[in-house]
Structure 1
Amino acid sequence: MNTLPIKALICSMIITLAALPVQAADMEFIGTAKTENGDILYQEKHRVSGSCQEGVFRPQGHKIGYHRPEAAETFASKSLTYPDSVIRPTVEFLQPDFSESLSIQYPSPDTLTIEWQDPDGELKSYDVGYNQDVVVDGGFDTLVRQHWGALTNGESVEFRFLAPTRGEHYAFILEPAESTRVVSDHVLQIRPTGMVLRFLVEPIILGYNSGGALTDYYGLTNIRKNLDTNHTAHIRYAVAKYPDCALTP
Protein backbone atom coordinates (compact mmCIF):
# COMPACT_ATOMS: atom_id res chain seq x y z
CA MET A 1 0.00 0.00 0.00
CA ASN A 2 1.37 3.38 -1.00
CA THR A 3 1.25 5.67 2.03
CA LEU A 4 2.69 8.73 0.29
CA PRO A 5 -0.70 10.18 -0.79
CA ILE A 6 -1.99 9.81 2.79
CA LYS A 7 1.09 11.52 4.23
CA ALA A 8 0.79 14.28 1.65
CA LEU A 9 -2.88 14.77 2.60
CA ILE A 10 -2.04 14.99 6.31
CA CYS A 11 0.74 17.52 5.65
CA SER A 12 -1.62 19.53 3.48
CA MET A 13 -4.25 19.57 6.27
CA ILE A 14 -1.68 20.70 8.85
CA ILE A 15 -0.48 23.52 6.60
CA THR A 16 -4.07 24.58 5.92
CA LEU A 17 -4.98 24.65 9.61
CA ALA A 18 -1.86 26.63 10.45
CA ALA A 19 -2.75 29.17 7.78
CA LEU A 20 -6.27 29.74 9.08
CA PRO A 21 -6.77 33.22 10.57
CA VAL A 22 -7.08 33.62 14.33
CA GLN A 23 -10.74 34.05 15.26
CA ALA A 24 -11.63 37.65 16.05
CA ALA A 25 -13.62 38.28 19.22
CA ASP A 26 -14.74 41.13 21.40
CA MET A 27 -16.17 41.79 24.85
CA GLU A 28 -18.32 44.57 26.28
CA PHE A 29 -19.07 45.45 29.88
CA ILE A 30 -20.19 48.39 32.02
CA GLY A 31 -18.90 49.44 35.41
CA THR A 32 -20.83 51.60 37.88
CA ALA A 33 -18.68 53.44 40.42
CA LYS A 34 -20.26 54.30 43.76
CA THR A 35 -19.20 56.01 46.96
CA GLU A 36 -19.31 54.39 50.41
CA ASN A 37 -22.81 55.88 50.77
CA GLY A 38 -24.00 54.27 47.55
CA ASP A 39 -24.10 57.46 45.49
CA ILE A 40 -23.22 56.94 41.81
CA LEU A 41 -20.05 58.79 40.81
CA TYR A 42 -19.80 57.70 37.16
CA GLN A 43 -20.12 54.81 34.75
CA GLU A 44 -17.41 53.14 32.67
CA LYS A 45 -18.33 51.72 29.27
CA HIS A 46 -15.77 49.16 28.11
CA ARG A 47 -15.28 47.67 24.68
CA VAL A 48 -12.44 45.15 24.29
CA SER A 49 -11.44 43.83 20.88
CA GLY A 50 -9.29 40.74 20.65
CA SER A 51 -8.99 37.23 19.34
CA CYS A 52 -9.52 33.65 20.41
CA GLN A 53 -6.17 31.89 20.50
CA GLU A 54 -6.12 28.22 21.44
CA GLY A 55 -9.60 28.66 22.88
CA VAL A 56 -8.69 31.57 25.17
CA PHE A 57 -9.50 35.25 24.71
CA ARG A 58 -6.51 37.56 24.11
CA PRO A 59 -7.15 41.33 24.28
CA GLN A 60 -5.72 43.53 21.54
CA GLY A 61 -7.48 46.86 22.06
CA HIS A 62 -9.56 48.31 24.89
CA LYS A 63 -11.54 51.56 24.85
CA ILE A 64 -13.17 53.04 27.93
CA GLY A 65 -15.57 55.96 28.08
CA TYR A 66 -16.35 57.55 31.45
CA HIS A 67 -19.84 59.03 31.85
CA ARG A 68 -21.46 60.98 34.64
CA PRO A 69 -24.90 59.69 35.73
CA GLU A 70 -27.43 59.96 32.90
CA ALA A 71 -24.98 61.82 30.64
CA ALA A 72 -24.39 60.69 27.07
CA GLU A 73 -21.11 62.57 26.67
CA THR A 74 -17.88 61.29 28.17
CA PHE A 75 -15.96 63.37 30.70
CA ALA A 76 -12.83 61.19 30.44
CA SER A 77 -11.51 58.44 28.17
CA LYS A 78 -8.86 55.75 28.05
CA SER A 79 -7.49 53.70 25.17
CA LEU A 80 -5.29 50.63 25.66
CA THR A 81 -3.55 48.49 23.05
CA TYR A 82 -1.65 45.24 23.58
CA PRO A 83 0.90 45.03 20.76
CA ASP A 84 3.52 42.94 22.57
CA SER A 85 2.27 41.93 26.00
CA VAL A 86 -1.18 41.31 27.47
CA ILE A 87 -0.03 42.65 30.86
CA ARG A 88 1.69 45.81 29.53
CA PRO A 89 -0.65 47.78 27.29
CA THR A 90 0.07 51.15 25.78
CA VAL A 91 -2.07 53.78 27.50
CA GLU A 92 -3.70 57.02 26.35
CA PHE A 93 -5.79 58.64 29.09
CA LEU A 94 -7.56 62.02 28.99
CA GLN A 95 -9.40 63.81 31.80
CA PRO A 96 -10.21 67.25 30.32
CA ASP A 97 -12.01 68.56 33.41
CA PHE A 98 -8.61 68.73 35.10
CA SER A 99 -6.53 69.28 31.93
CA GLU A 100 -4.86 65.95 32.70
CA SER A 101 -3.43 63.47 30.22
CA LEU A 102 -1.27 60.36 30.46
CA SER A 103 0.56 58.41 27.77
CA ILE A 104 2.58 55.20 28.20
CA GLN A 105 4.56 53.77 25.28
CA TYR A 106 7.31 51.17 24.70
CA PRO A 107 10.07 52.50 22.43
CA SER A 108 12.42 49.60 23.23
CA PRO A 109 12.10 46.07 24.67
CA ASP A 110 13.34 47.08 28.12
CA THR A 111 12.28 50.75 28.46
CA LEU A 112 8.87 52.36 28.65
CA THR A 113 8.17 56.09 28.43
CA ILE A 114 5.60 58.07 30.38
CA GLU A 115 4.29 61.52 29.57
CA TRP A 116 1.98 62.95 32.19
CA GLN A 117 0.41 66.38 32.13
CA ASP A 118 -0.70 66.96 35.70
CA PRO A 119 -3.67 69.14 36.76
CA ASP A 120 -1.33 72.08 37.29
CA GLY A 121 -0.44 71.97 33.59
CA GLU A 122 3.11 70.73 34.14
CA LEU A 123 4.31 68.10 31.66
CA LYS A 124 6.41 65.39 33.29
CA SER A 125 8.33 62.76 31.32
CA TYR A 126 9.93 59.53 32.55
CA ASP A 127 12.02 56.77 30.99
CA VAL A 128 11.51 53.62 33.05
CA GLY A 129 13.38 50.35 32.72
CA TYR A 130 11.25 47.23 33.10
CA ASN A 131 11.34 43.45 32.96
CA GLN A 132 8.74 40.74 32.35
CA ASP A 133 7.37 41.02 35.92
CA VAL A 134 6.08 44.55 35.40
CA VAL A 135 2.32 45.05 34.97
CA VAL A 136 0.83 48.25 33.54
CA ASP A 137 -2.67 49.66 34.10
CA GLY A 138 -5.46 47.28 33.01
CA GLY A 139 -2.91 44.52 32.46
CA PHE A 140 -3.70 43.38 36.00
CA ASP A 141 -6.94 41.86 34.66
CA THR A 142 -5.05 39.61 32.25
CA LEU A 143 -2.50 38.81 34.97
CA VAL A 144 -5.35 37.41 37.05
CA ARG A 145 -6.52 35.23 34.17
CA GLN A 146 -3.02 34.03 33.34
CA HIS A 147 -2.70 32.69 36.90
CA TRP A 148 -6.35 31.69 37.30
CA GLY A 149 -5.68 28.12 38.34
CA ALA A 150 -3.13 29.08 41.00
CA LEU A 151 -5.19 31.97 42.41
CA THR A 152 -8.41 29.98 42.65
CA ASN A 153 -6.46 27.26 44.46
CA GLY A 154 -5.30 29.67 47.15
CA GLU A 155 -1.87 30.58 45.79
CA SER A 156 -0.43 34.08 45.34
CA VAL A 157 1.44 35.84 42.53
CA GLU A 158 4.21 38.39 42.99
CA PHE A 159 4.69 41.12 40.39
CA ARG A 160 5.69 44.75 39.96
CA PHE A 161 3.07 47.40 39.25
CA LEU A 162 3.76 50.64 37.42
CA ALA A 163 2.91 53.89 39.22
CA PRO A 164 3.00 56.16 36.15
CA THR A 165 2.70 59.51 37.94
CA ARG A 166 5.74 58.57 40.02
CA GLY A 167 7.74 57.20 37.10
CA GLU A 168 8.53 53.96 38.92
CA HIS A 169 7.23 50.44 39.50
CA TYR A 170 6.89 48.76 42.87
CA ALA A 171 6.62 45.24 44.28
CA PHE A 172 3.06 43.99 44.76
CA ILE A 173 1.36 40.69 45.46
CA LEU A 174 -1.91 39.34 44.02
CA GLU A 175 -3.61 36.90 46.37
CA PRO A 176 -6.95 35.41 47.47
CA ALA A 177 -8.68 37.50 50.13
CA GLU A 178 -11.77 37.87 52.26
CA SER A 179 -13.75 41.09 52.19
CA THR A 180 -16.95 42.44 53.69
CA ARG A 181 -17.20 44.92 50.80
CA VAL A 182 -16.93 42.56 47.83
CA VAL A 183 -19.09 39.47 47.37
CA SER A 184 -18.23 37.36 44.32
CA ASP A 185 -17.30 33.82 43.28
CA HIS A 186 -13.63 34.66 43.81
CA VAL A 187 -12.28 37.59 45.84
CA LEU A 188 -8.68 38.72 45.38
CA GLN A 189 -6.57 41.61 46.54
CA ILE A 190 -3.59 43.52 45.18
CA ARG A 191 -1.34 44.92 47.89
CA PRO A 192 2.17 46.34 48.05
CA THR A 193 4.86 44.23 49.71
CA GLY A 194 7.29 47.03 50.57
CA MET A 195 7.18 48.18 54.18
CA VAL A 196 6.70 51.87 53.40
CA LEU A 197 4.04 51.43 50.72
CA ARG A 198 2.09 49.03 52.94
CA PHE A 199 1.42 51.94 55.29
CA LEU A 200 0.64 54.40 52.49
CA VAL A 201 -1.33 52.37 49.94
CA GLU A 202 -4.58 50.55 50.71
CA PRO A 203 -5.07 47.15 49.03
CA ILE A 204 -7.27 46.98 45.94
CA ILE A 205 -10.05 44.39 46.31
CA LEU A 206 -11.20 42.53 43.19
CA GLY A 207 -14.14 40.25 42.53
CA TYR A 208 -14.35 37.70 39.69
CA ASN A 209 -17.11 35.34 38.63
CA SER A 210 -16.48 31.65 38.01
CA GLY A 211 -15.87 32.31 34.30
CA GLY A 212 -13.04 34.76 34.94
CA ALA A 213 -14.90 38.05 34.34
CA LEU A 214 -14.25 41.01 36.63
CA THR A 215 -17.31 41.76 38.79
CA ASP A 216 -15.95 44.20 41.38
CA TYR A 217 -13.16 46.70 41.97
CA TYR A 218 -12.84 48.43 45.31
CA GLY A 219 -10.07 50.95 45.80
CA LEU A 220 -8.41 54.06 44.46
CA THR A 221 -9.49 54.92 40.90
CA ASN A 222 -7.83 56.98 38.15
CA ILE A 223 -10.71 59.50 38.18
CA ARG A 224 -10.03 62.71 40.05
CA LYS A 225 -12.11 63.90 42.97
CA ASN A 226 -10.25 67.21 43.05
CA LEU A 227 -6.82 68.62 42.20
CA ASP A 228 -5.15 66.68 45.00
CA THR A 229 -6.88 63.31 45.23
CA ASN A 230 -8.62 60.64 43.15
CA HIS A 231 -11.91 58.97 43.97
CA THR A 232 -11.94 55.80 46.03
CA ALA A 233 -14.93 53.81 44.81
CA HIS A 234 -16.63 50.45 44.61
CA ILE A 235 -17.08 49.67 40.91
CA ARG A 236 -19.48 46.86 40.04
CA TYR A 237 -19.26 45.40 36.54
CA ALA A 238 -21.92 43.80 34.35
CA VAL A 239 -20.92 41.98 31.16
CA ALA A 240 -23.06 42.86 28.14
CA LYS A 241 -21.18 40.64 25.69
CA TYR A 242 -18.76 37.78 26.21
CA PRO A 243 -16.20 36.69 23.58
CA ASP A 244 -16.79 33.42 21.73
CA CYS A 245 -14.15 31.64 23.77
CA ALA A 246 -13.06 31.21 27.39
CA LEU A 247 -11.56 34.07 29.42
CA THR A 248 -9.25 31.74 31.35
CA PRO A 249 -6.99 28.87 30.30
Structure 2
Amino acid sequence: MRSSALLLACALPLSAAAAEMRFTGQAMPLNGDNLLYEEQHVVTGKCTDGLFRPASHNVTYLRSNGEPFAEKTLSYEQSTLRPAMTFRQPGFNEVMEIRNRDDATLEIEWQTPEGDTENSTVEVTRKLVADAGFDNLVRNHWPEVTSGDRIEFNFLAPTRGKAYGFVLEPAKDDRINATHTVLIEPSSTILSFLVDPILLGYNDNGALTDYLGLTNIRKDKDSNYTAHIRYAVDTAPDCELTR
Protein backbone atom coordinates (compact mmCIF):
# COMPACT_ATOMS: atom_id res chain seq x y z
CA MET A 1 0.00 0.00 0.00
CA ARG A 2 2.80 2.39 0.92
CA SER A 3 4.61 1.68 -2.37
CA SER A 4 1.44 2.36 -4.36
CA ALA A 5 0.89 5.67 -2.60
CA LEU A 6 4.47 6.70 -3.27
CA LEU A 7 4.20 5.83 -6.95
CA LEU A 8 0.97 7.85 -7.22
CA ALA A 9 2.51 10.87 -5.49
CA CYS A 10 5.46 10.77 -7.88
CA ALA A 11 3.21 10.49 -10.92
CA LEU A 12 0.90 13.41 -10.13
CA PRO A 13 3.41 16.25 -10.63
CA LEU A 14 4.26 14.83 -14.06
CA SER A 15 0.67 15.12 -15.28
CA ALA A 16 -0.07 18.50 -13.66
CA ALA A 17 3.09 20.44 -12.80
CA ALA A 18 3.20 24.11 -11.83
CA ALA A 19 4.30 26.36 -14.70
CA GLU A 20 4.85 30.02 -15.46
CA MET A 21 5.05 32.23 -18.52
CA ARG A 22 6.57 35.71 -18.52
CA PHE A 23 6.50 38.10 -21.46
CA THR A 24 7.03 41.80 -22.07
CA GLY A 25 5.26 44.14 -24.49
CA GLN A 26 6.45 47.51 -25.76
CA ALA A 27 3.71 49.83 -27.00
CA MET A 28 4.65 52.20 -29.79
CA PRO A 29 2.48 54.72 -31.68
CA LEU A 30 1.38 53.63 -35.16
CA ASN A 31 3.37 56.49 -36.66
CA GLY A 32 6.44 57.10 -34.56
CA ASP A 33 9.22 55.39 -32.64
CA ASN A 34 8.81 56.81 -29.13
CA LEU A 35 7.90 54.28 -26.45
CA LEU A 36 4.42 54.95 -25.05
CA TYR A 37 4.57 52.39 -22.26
CA GLU A 38 5.68 48.86 -21.41
CA GLU A 39 3.66 45.85 -20.24
CA GLN A 40 5.15 43.18 -17.97
CA HIS A 41 3.07 39.97 -17.95
CA VAL A 42 3.28 37.03 -15.53
CA VAL A 43 0.97 34.08 -16.20
CA THR A 44 0.95 31.20 -13.74
CA GLY A 45 -0.73 27.87 -14.29
CA LYS A 46 -0.03 24.18 -14.78
CA CYS A 47 1.33 21.90 -17.43
CA THR A 48 -1.46 19.31 -17.70
CA ASP A 49 -0.75 16.38 -19.98
CA GLY A 50 1.85 18.47 -21.78
CA LEU A 51 -0.39 21.50 -22.35
CA PHE A 52 -0.20 24.84 -20.49
CA ARG A 53 -3.36 25.75 -18.57
CA PRO A 54 -3.34 29.36 -17.27
CA ALA A 55 -4.71 30.04 -13.79
CA SER A 56 -3.81 33.66 -13.04
CA HIS A 57 -2.37 36.58 -14.97
CA ASN A 58 -0.80 39.78 -13.66
CA VAL A 59 0.12 42.79 -15.81
CA THR A 60 2.15 45.80 -14.69
CA TYR A 61 2.15 48.85 -16.95
CA LEU A 62 5.27 51.04 -16.88
CA ARG A 63 6.00 54.46 -18.32
CA SER A 64 9.09 54.93 -20.49
CA ASN A 65 11.01 55.98 -17.36
CA GLY A 66 10.15 52.68 -15.63
CA GLU A 67 7.47 54.12 -13.33
CA PRO A 68 4.40 51.86 -12.83
CA PHE A 69 1.13 53.62 -13.62
CA ALA A 70 -1.51 50.89 -14.03
CA GLU A 71 -2.07 47.24 -13.17
CA LYS A 72 -4.34 44.37 -14.11
CA THR A 73 -5.03 41.03 -12.45
CA LEU A 74 -6.96 38.19 -14.04
CA SER A 75 -8.18 34.84 -12.76
CA TYR A 76 -9.04 31.96 -15.10
CA GLU A 77 -10.58 29.86 -12.34
CA GLN A 78 -14.05 29.84 -13.92
CA SER A 79 -13.09 30.10 -17.59
CA THR A 80 -10.03 30.73 -19.74
CA LEU A 81 -12.24 32.72 -22.15
CA ARG A 82 -14.02 34.78 -19.50
CA PRO A 83 -11.53 35.62 -16.75
CA ALA A 84 -12.41 37.56 -13.65
CA MET A 85 -10.52 40.83 -13.93
CA THR A 86 -9.53 43.95 -12.00
CA PHE A 87 -7.90 46.82 -13.88
CA ARG A 88 -6.71 50.02 -12.21
CA GLN A 89 -5.49 53.28 -13.70
CA PRO A 90 -4.91 55.44 -10.58
CA GLY A 91 -3.89 58.48 -12.62
CA PHE A 92 -7.48 58.69 -13.88
CA ASN A 93 -9.12 57.34 -10.70
CA GLU A 94 -10.49 54.51 -12.84
CA VAL A 95 -11.20 50.92 -11.77
CA MET A 96 -12.81 48.25 -13.94
CA GLU A 97 -13.84 44.99 -12.30
CA ILE A 98 -15.39 41.92 -13.93
CA ARG A 99 -16.61 39.10 -11.67
CA ASN A 100 -17.35 35.68 -13.17
CA ARG A 101 -20.20 34.06 -11.21
CA ASP A 102 -19.92 30.30 -11.84
CA ASP A 103 -19.46 31.06 -15.54
CA ALA A 104 -23.18 31.83 -15.73
CA THR A 105 -23.08 35.63 -15.48
CA LEU A 106 -20.46 38.36 -15.61
CA GLU A 107 -20.91 41.21 -13.15
CA ILE A 108 -19.25 44.46 -14.18
CA GLU A 109 -18.45 47.38 -11.90
CA TRP A 110 -16.83 50.41 -13.48
CA GLN A 111 -15.55 53.38 -11.50
CA THR A 112 -15.30 56.00 -14.24
CA PRO A 113 -12.75 58.83 -14.46
CA GLU A 114 -15.63 61.22 -13.77
CA GLY A 115 -16.15 59.61 -10.35
CA ASP A 116 -19.36 57.72 -11.17
CA THR A 117 -19.91 54.00 -10.62
CA GLU A 118 -21.70 51.99 -13.29
CA ASN A 119 -22.90 48.40 -12.76
CA SER A 120 -24.13 45.87 -15.31
CA THR A 121 -24.64 42.12 -15.70
CA VAL A 122 -24.12 40.04 -18.84
CA GLU A 123 -25.39 36.50 -19.27
CA VAL A 124 -22.71 34.02 -20.28
CA THR A 125 -23.03 32.15 -23.58
CA ARG A 126 -20.69 29.58 -25.07
CA LYS A 127 -19.31 32.16 -27.53
CA LEU A 128 -18.73 34.95 -24.99
CA VAL A 129 -15.12 36.17 -24.61
CA ALA A 130 -13.90 38.81 -22.15
CA ASP A 131 -10.69 40.83 -21.96
CA ALA A 132 -7.50 38.73 -22.34
CA GLY A 133 -9.66 35.69 -23.03
CA PHE A 134 -9.20 36.49 -26.74
CA ASP A 135 -5.63 35.15 -26.46
CA ASN A 136 -6.89 31.81 -25.17
CA LEU A 137 -9.62 31.82 -27.82
CA VAL A 138 -6.91 31.85 -30.47
CA ARG A 139 -4.98 29.02 -28.79
CA ASN A 140 -8.13 26.95 -28.22
CA HIS A 141 -8.82 27.17 -31.95
CA TRP A 142 -5.21 26.85 -33.10
CA PRO A 143 -5.88 24.21 -35.80
CA GLU A 144 -8.59 26.46 -37.29
CA VAL A 145 -6.43 29.59 -36.97
CA THR A 146 -3.46 28.00 -38.71
CA SER A 147 -5.62 26.47 -41.46
CA GLY A 148 -7.32 29.77 -42.31
CA ASP A 149 -10.79 29.19 -40.86
CA ARG A 150 -13.09 31.99 -39.68
CA ILE A 151 -14.13 31.96 -35.99
CA GLU A 152 -17.21 33.78 -34.71
CA PHE A 153 -17.52 34.91 -31.09
CA ASN A 154 -19.09 37.58 -28.88
CA PHE A 155 -16.73 40.05 -27.23
CA LEU A 156 -17.57 41.85 -23.99
CA ALA A 157 -17.54 45.66 -24.06
CA PRO A 158 -17.42 46.27 -20.28
CA THR A 159 -17.89 50.05 -20.44
CA ARG A 160 -21.14 49.45 -22.34
CA GLY A 161 -22.25 46.48 -20.26
CA LYS A 162 -22.99 44.25 -23.25
CA ALA A 163 -21.36 41.93 -25.78
CA TYR A 164 -21.11 42.34 -29.55
CA GLY A 165 -20.54 39.87 -32.38
CA PHE A 166 -17.00 39.63 -33.75
CA VAL A 167 -15.08 37.42 -36.15
CA LEU A 168 -11.47 36.27 -36.07
CA GLU A 169 -9.88 35.37 -39.39
CA PRO A 170 -6.47 35.18 -41.09
CA ALA A 171 -5.02 38.42 -42.43
CA LYS A 172 -1.99 39.87 -44.16
CA ASP A 173 -0.52 43.18 -43.09
CA ASP A 174 2.96 44.54 -43.77
CA ARG A 175 3.04 46.18 -40.36
CA ILE A 176 3.17 42.80 -38.60
CA ASN A 177 6.08 40.43 -39.08
CA ALA A 178 4.69 37.23 -37.56
CA THR A 179 4.29 33.61 -38.59
CA HIS A 180 0.53 33.88 -38.18
CA THR A 181 -1.47 37.12 -38.45
CA VAL A 182 -5.16 37.28 -37.58
CA LEU A 183 -7.74 40.05 -37.72
CA ILE A 184 -10.49 40.68 -35.15
CA GLU A 185 -13.36 42.83 -36.41
CA PRO A 186 -17.09 43.30 -35.76
CA SER A 187 -19.42 40.94 -37.59
CA SER A 188 -21.98 43.75 -37.95
CA THR A 189 -21.49 46.06 -40.92
CA ILE A 190 -22.89 48.98 -38.93
CA LEU A 191 -20.59 48.36 -35.95
CA SER A 192 -17.59 48.02 -38.28
CA PHE A 193 -17.97 51.71 -39.14
CA LEU A 194 -17.60 52.57 -35.44
CA VAL A 195 -15.01 50.04 -34.25
CA ASP A 196 -11.61 49.67 -35.88
CA PRO A 197 -10.27 46.12 -36.37
CA ILE A 198 -7.46 44.68 -34.26
CA LEU A 199 -4.50 42.79 -35.72
CA LEU A 200 -2.75 40.03 -33.79
CA GLY A 201 0.50 38.24 -34.53
CA TYR A 202 1.54 34.79 -33.24
CA ASN A 203 4.62 32.63 -33.61
CA ASP A 204 4.61 28.92 -34.43
CA ASN A 205 4.40 28.01 -30.74
CA GLY A 206 1.19 30.00 -30.22
CA ALA A 207 2.77 32.89 -28.32
CA LEU A 208 1.46 36.40 -28.96
CA THR A 209 4.03 38.54 -30.79
CA ASP A 210 2.00 41.58 -31.89
CA TYR A 211 -1.11 43.58 -31.01
CA LEU A 212 -2.08 46.47 -33.26
CA GLY A 213 -5.16 48.51 -32.41
CA LEU A 214 -6.99 50.33 -29.66
CA THR A 215 -5.55 49.64 -26.20
CA ASN A 216 -7.06 49.79 -22.71
CA ILE A 217 -4.60 52.50 -21.64
CA ARG A 218 -5.96 56.02 -21.46
CA LYS A 219 -4.33 58.84 -23.36
CA ASP A 220 -6.70 61.25 -21.61
CA LYS A 221 -10.17 61.14 -20.04
CA ASP A 222 -11.86 60.93 -23.42
CA SER A 223 -9.64 58.57 -25.43
CA ASN A 224 -7.29 55.59 -25.26
CA TYR A 225 -4.01 54.99 -27.03
CA THR A 226 -3.98 53.20 -30.36
CA ALA A 227 -0.66 51.40 -30.55
CA HIS A 228 1.44 48.59 -31.98
CA ILE A 229 2.55 46.41 -29.07
CA ARG A 230 5.41 44.00 -29.81
CA TYR A 231 5.79 41.11 -27.37
CA ALA A 232 8.82 39.04 -26.42
CA VAL A 233 8.69 35.90 -24.28
CA ASP A 234 11.06 36.08 -21.30
CA THR A 235 10.16 32.73 -19.71
CA ALA A 236 8.18 29.98 -21.40
CA PRO A 237 6.41 27.09 -19.63
CA ASP A 238 7.97 23.65 -19.98
CA CYS A 239 5.05 22.43 -22.08
CA GLU A 240 3.09 23.36 -25.20
CA LEU A 241 0.85 26.44 -25.50
CA THR A 242 -1.29 24.90 -28.23
CA ARG A 243 -2.22 21.50 -29.58
SS of alignment partner, residue 200 of structure 1: coil
In structure 2, what is the Cα distance between the partners aligned to 1:198 and 1:33? 24
Q: Hey, what's the Cα distance between the residues in 2 that align with 1:18 and 1:90?
A: 33
Which among 164, 168, 179 is matched to residue 162 of structure 2?
Answer: 168
Are 1:43 and 2:38 matched, yes or no? yes
Q: Which runs of 5+ in 2 are unaligned?
A: none
Distance 1:39 1:75 in 2: 18
Question: 1:61 maps to what in 2?
Answer: 56
Find the aligned partners of 1:61 and 1:132 in 2 and give their Cα distance.
Answer: 21
Following superposition, the deviation at residue 20 of structure 1 comes to 1.3
Length-normalised TM-score, structure 1: 0.91
Aligned with residue 97 of structure 1, among 87, 91, 109: 91
Across the two proteins, how many residue pairs are aligned to each other?
A: 237
The letter of the residue matching 2:142 is W
Q: Secondary structure at the match of 1:94?
A: strand
For 1:97 and 1:109, locate their aligned partners in 2 and report how far apart those are by CA, in whole Å. 32
CA distance in 1, matches of 2:40, 2:240: 21
Match of 1:81 among 43, 65, 75: 75
For 2:43 and 2:102, the matched residues in 1 are separated by 25
Q: Distance in 1 between matches of 2:174 and 2:161?
A: 33
Could you say which structure has the larger radius of gyration?
A: 1
Higher deviation after alignment, 236-245 or 20-29? 20-29
Q: CA deviation at 1:109?
A: 3.7
1:240 aligns with 2:234: yes
Moved more, 180-189 or 60-69: 180-189
Deviations 1:196-232 (A, max 9, x none): 2111111100000111100000000000011111000
- Partners in 2 of 1:33 and 1:66 — Cα distance? 10
Q: CA RMSD in A?
A: 1.7
**In the alignment, what sits opposite 2:27?**
33
CA contact (8 A) 2:78 2:103 kept: no
Percent identity of paired positions between Structure 1 and Structure 2? 50
**Among residues 89, 112, 118, which one is paired with 1:118 in the alignment?**
112
Cα contact 2:79–2:103 (8 A) shared by 1: no
Give 1:62's aligned amino acid.
Answer: H
Contact 2:201 2:210 in 1 (8 A): yes
1:44 is matched by which residue type in structure 2?
A: E
Gaps of 5+ in 1: 1-11
Q: In structure 2, what is the equivalent of residue 214 of structure 1?
A: 208
Is 2:82–2:100's contact at 8 Å kept on the other side of the alignment?
no
Question: Cα distance, 1:158 vs. partner?
Answer: 0.6
Work out the CA distance in 1 between the residues paired with 2:40 and 2:182: 23
Is 1:16 the equivalent of 2:8? yes
* 1:80 alignment partner AA: L
Aligned position for 2:130:
136
Cα distance, 1:194 vs structure 2: 1.0
Task: Point out 4+ residue stretches in structure 1 off by more than 4 angstroms.
Answer: none
Q: Aligned to 2:91, what secondary structure does the other structure show? A: helix
Residue range with higher mean Cα deviation, 61-70 or 102-111: 102-111
Q: What TM-score results when the alignment is normalised by the length of structure 2?
A: 0.94
Deviation at 1:19, TM superposition (A): 7.0
Q: Following TM superposition, by how much is the alpha carbon of 1:181 offset from its aligned partner in structure 2, in angstroms?
A: 1.4
**1:70 shift after superposition:** 2.5
Q: 2:193 and 2:79 mapped to 1: Cα distance?
A: 31
Aligned-partner SS, 2:220:
coil
Structure-1 residue corresponding to 2:189? 195
Letter in 2 for 1:42: Y
